[in-house]
Amino acid sequence: MLRFTLKRLISGIILLLVVGTATFFLAHLAIGDPTVGLLGSSATPAQQAALAHKIGTDRPLLTQFLDWGGHAITGDFGTSWRNFQPVSGQISLKLPVTLSVVTFAIILSAVFGGLFGILAGLNPGTWIDKLVKGAAVVLFALPGFWVSLVLVVWFAVNLKWFPAVGYVQPTMSVQGWLRSITLPAVALALGAIVMVAEQLRNAFIAVNGQDFVRTLRSRGLTQTRVVLHLLRNAAPASLTVLALMFVGLLSGAVVVEQVFALPGIGAMTNGSSQNGDIPILLGITVVSVLFVVIVNFVLDVVLGWLNPKARVQ
């Protein structure tokens, strides 16, 4: 298990290095001279040169990369070119917004996806099974922004149960925070719920037909105990989907944050791209990849624990 864990860890670090390096050079190639966008059209060439010197873009690209990389390894992503505040500090302000929504969406997906998946898997061919399968097709096909808009129109505009836009920090009001992230999380979760439900349903049906389940039932175990056994055997597929969903939802948050005007990582990415604020973009990229690596690492470890064969493979 230790060797398995180390291998996963090393591959994650390599991924982080490769993506960080590629993003650095691609971003600098895509955004030529950032000083025009940062200072506005009225800035003089002298002011542009002064800013270029201040942010270090007057140095060779390789020097800039080594400088950035050396600091990034220690967790220092430099300062924003726009407001000169530390990148890590700004990301730490925005990350909780995105993570609040994504984590809430994952919880909703796990709970409701698990519930519907188990119900459909235990009752194949019944109305609930058909409902899950039908909903899977429909909800997965619906574009995220459309679902978001429908939710806003129903629950914010017509019923006025939730705010249409904005974010409330949990330190200001826990209820306000829950209200501000509910609709975005539901919008993100709808597709994930049906994905998880369908995966779990299929795995349940496959496991339910195996000999050991018949043996369990013949020993007189209650239905709840049998379901728990089924769940452990059927869980890996759904866990993989949930992990993939987490990564997908991080990128999906860009659209949802725009529709609900949430000040998260997605909105920050959008704004930094428009302003040519490369340090922010690089910081976001590294942090996002870090999350992907961590989630995949945890998933591999859990799958290895659930299924020893995975460790060997």
Partner 1 sequence: MKRASALALVAATALALSACSGGGGNVGGGNSGAGNTALNIGNFADVTSWDPSLADIGFDGPYLSAVYDPLVAVDGDGKPVPALAKDWKVSADFKTVTMDLRTDAKFSDGEPFNADAAVKSLEYLKKGARSQEAYLKVAGFKKVDADTIEINLKERDDTLLYFMGLGRSYMMAPKAIDAGTLAKTPVGSGPYTLDSSSVAGSEYHFTKVKDHWDAAAFKGDPLAIFPIQDQTARDNAMLSGQINVNYADKAAMDQATQQGWNVAKKVSGWVGLRFTDQAGEKFKPLGEVKVRQALNYAFDGAQILKAIGNGLGAATNQVFPAGMPGNLPGLNDKYAFNLAKAKSLLAEAGYPGGFSVTMPMTQVFQVWQPSVDQTFGQLGIKVKWDNMQYMDYQAKAPTYPMFVSFLAMDSNPVATVTRQISTPQWFNPNPQMDKFPDVQAQVSKVLAATPDAQPAEIEKLNTLVTEKAWFSVWYQADNVYVSASNITVTPVTGMMFPTLRQISFKG
Residues of this chain that interact with partner 1 (CB under 8 A) are 30-34, 36-37, 39-44, 47, 51, 83-85, 93-94, 97, 149, 152-153, 155-157, 159-169, 172-180, 182, 258-263, 267-268, 270-271, 274-276
Contacts of 38 (CB under 8 A, 6+ apart): 51, 81, 82, 275, 276, 277
In this complex, which beta carbon is closest to partner 1, that of residue 146 or of residue 212? 146
In this complex, which beta carbon is closest to partner 1, that of residue 114 or of residue 304? 114
In this complex, which beta carbon is closest to partner 1, that of residue 3 or of residue 160? 160
**Least spacing, CB of residue 73 vs partner 1, in Å:** 28
In this complex, which beta carbon is closest to partner 1, that of residue 77 or of residue 246? 77
**Least spacing, CB of residue 48 vs partner 1, in Å:** 9
Dihedral sign for Cα 47, 51, 56, 61, please. Answer: negative
**Least spacing, CB of residue 303 vs partner 1, in Å:** 31
**Least spacing, CB of residue 165 vs partner 1, in Å:** 5
- Are the beta carbons of 55 and 293 closer than 8 angstroms? no
Long-range contacts of 120-128 (CB under 8 A, 24+ apart): 120/197, 120/198, 120/201, 120/204, 121/200, 121/201, 121/202, 121/203, 121/204, 121/205, 121/208, 121/230, 121/234, 122/204, 122/208, 122/227, 124/201, 124/205
In this complex, which beta carbon is closest to partner 1, that of residue 282 or of residue 293? 282
**Least spacing, CB of residue 264 vs partner 1, in Å:** 9
